[in-house]
């Protein structure tokens, strides 16, 4: 019988070293024997550094009054007084000078008119609104962007009594980017102003269009505001 000598156990040793590049984006395995560098797998990049959001009213609480009411302008002014939409704000932190802050807002607003006469009648009105995003403080901080939105309403009524309010609901969504920011933490705010309202009414009694001169002040009833800090070096 022939006996086979057991093989000696070979001590294992680490022949590879792991190297991670300066951006933490790739892992390389370097063989100490061949001195060759082999790319294995990427490390997921973390672009998002900070996020904050604001919702008014609370989606868990139904109903509620208007968040803000805007005074219509007095001619020849194009816009009425600009006011904060809410005293609440969002806060973004961990901001470096080469980062960017991405801001998004969705605002639900109403405009209306009260008809002076009973139907039948046709009411046509338009309303303009202005919204802005500010950094650090409304009016005294930095205005980052401004949008102007105009909406129209055409209402036909056959038997509406005098004093009926015709209302339309509009949604304005916009976004902007804040860059070259100094400081690690900043607050962001929303403001709004009512623009010019126009319209006319056609009554069944006289048949001719008559201009509307008395409009109701527009209101904001819902607000969604969010911001994120993005690492520009990793974009």
Indicate the domain borders of the chain.
Answer: 14-44, 46-234
Q: Residue 56 — φ and ψ, nearest 5°?
A: -135, 130
How high is the pLDDT of residue 128? Answer: 97
Low-confidence stretches of the chain (pLDDT < 50) are 2, 10-31, 37, 43-44, 235
Statement: 46-234 belongs to CATH 2.60.120: yes
- 132, 141 Cβ separation under 8 angstroms: no
pTM: 0.76
Residue for token pair 């086979």 = 4
- 131, 201 Cβ separation under 8 angstroms: no
How high is the pLDDT of residue 15? Answer: 44
Bond into 152 cis (ω within 30): no
Number of H helices, E strands in the chain: 0, 14
- 31, 16 Cβ separation under 8 angstroms: yes
């Amino acid at each position: 019988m022939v006996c086979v000598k057991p093989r000696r156990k070979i001590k294992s040793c680490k022949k590879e070293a792991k190297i991670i590049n300066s951006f933490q984006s790739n892992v390389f395995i370097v063989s100490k024997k061949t001195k060759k560098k082999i790319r294995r797998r990427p490390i997921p990049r973390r672009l998002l550094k900070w996020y904050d959001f604001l919702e008014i009213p609370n989606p868990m609480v139904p109903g509620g009054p208007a968040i803000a009411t805007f005074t219509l302008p007095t001619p020849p002014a194009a816009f009425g007084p600009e006011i904060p939409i809410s005293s609440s704000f969002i806060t973004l932190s961990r901001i470096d000078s080469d980062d960017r802050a991405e801001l998004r807002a969705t605002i639900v607003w109403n405009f209306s008119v009260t008809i002076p006469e009973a139907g039948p009648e046709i009411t046509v009105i338009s309303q303009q609104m202005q919204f802005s995003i500010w950094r650090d403080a409304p009016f005294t901080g930095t205005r980052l962007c401004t949008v102007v939105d105009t909406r129209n309403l055409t209402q036909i009524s056959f038997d509406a009594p005098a004093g009926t309010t015709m209302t339309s609901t509009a949604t304005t969504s916009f976004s902007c980017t804040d860059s070259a920011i100094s400081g690690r933490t900043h607050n962001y705010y929303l403001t709004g102003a009512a623009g010019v309202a126009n319209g006319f009414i056609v009554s069944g009694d006289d048949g001719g269009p008559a201009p509307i001169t008395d409009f109701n002040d527009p209101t904001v009833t819902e607000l969604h505001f969010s911001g994120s800090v993005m690492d520009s070096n990793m974009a």
